A and B are shown apart, each in its own frame.
Chain A
């Protein structure tokens, strides 16, 4: 599990890096199909080996923000006798957004990767 401790530099690197990647991860996960909040938390935790372990107070406002931006849509679904769940899925706009975000992500990884490779520790 990722540590949340402040680094000796005074900058919380884990948080700063995660902040930029959370929305992309959410869109990428939802590109596989509709999912509800608790499921998203579990799947993100599993696929990232615990690196992204969201609390509900982080996930749901982020989902609502993406929905308000038109990148996600939601629907309430009751399966069998279970409790109703709010499922989120990508809109067409969301798919376009993910495509753009991934292109930018790859560009960033490549460009920053070059700079990082040159680092002398």
Chain B
């Protein structure tokens, strides 16, 4: 492989690696090494300059390739954990007691973010990760509510308000788990599409 070919190969591999952001580093590095080896073999087997150019032209589109691998390996534990922490933060901020009266819209906005993000975690990580995200965020939201209620002197909680808050929080569990399950049912990335 000459310098120009090497540069083209490395450029392609960098794009694939970047598209696999969030995946486990060991899996990602292994995939890149294997693709590099494949490109080297393909170029060595190409007898003419035209054939070598064809090797690069026919390489799979990086994002599509990354989707196939993500469907197999999912995202790394660190990536999922960071996302779940972010979901928890959104859920905590969605507790209405944190805000002055009539600031419900802000709490609702944070709740919408929490629901969307929990759903995203489920979609990216699958049903187990989605369930973990849903349970963590719902628990964090309910605990925050309880703590603020205990510390607050001037808030009187009606039983049905408390129940409604818990039920609404459960939406996070349903969305997180549901999106993970739905992902399994939806036709996702199909590495056999180009057969």
- Chain A residues within 8 Å of B, Cβ to Cβ: 4, 14-15, 18-19, 22, 36-38, 42, 52, 54-58, 60-62, 64-65, 68, 76, 83-86
Contact = CB atoms under 8 A, between A and B. Distances in A.
B170 to A, nearest CB: 33
Contact of B33 (A14, A56, A86): A86
Nearest to B60: A57
A117 B58 CA distance: 39
A68 B72 contact: yes
Given A57-B68, A61-B72, A83 B41 contact: yes
A55 B59 CA distance: 8
Interface of B: 30-31, 33-38, 40-42, 45, 58-61, 64-65, 68-69, 71-73, 191-195
A4 B194 CA distance: 9
Given A83-B37, A84-B33, A58 B45 contact: no
Contact of B195 (A15, A37, A65): A15
B194 A22 contact: no
19 contacts: A4-B195, A14-B195, A18-B195, A19-B192, A37-B34, A37-B38, A38-B41, A38-B45, A55-B60, A56-B35, A56-B38, A56-B42, A57-B59, A57-B191, A61-B71, A64-B69, A64-B73, A76-B33, A86-B30
A6 to B, nearest CB: 13
Contacts of A85: 37, 41
A79 to B, nearest CB: 12
B12 to A, nearest CB: 11
A65 B72 contact: yes
Given A55-B58, A56-B60, A61-B69, A22 B40 contact: no
A58 B194 contact: yes
A4 B38 CA distance: 24
Contact of B40 (A14, A83, A86): A83
Given A37-B34, A65-B72, A22 B65 contact: no
B192 A15 contact: yes
Given A14-B195, A61-B68, 7 more contacts: A4-B195, A15-B195, A38-B37, A55-B194, A56-B35, A56-B59, A58-B195
Given A38-B45, A65-B72, A57 B194 contact: yes
A60 B192 contact: no
B37 A36 contact: yes
Contacts of B69: 61, 64
Given A58-B192, A84-B33, A38 B72 contact: no
A51 to B, nearest CB: 10
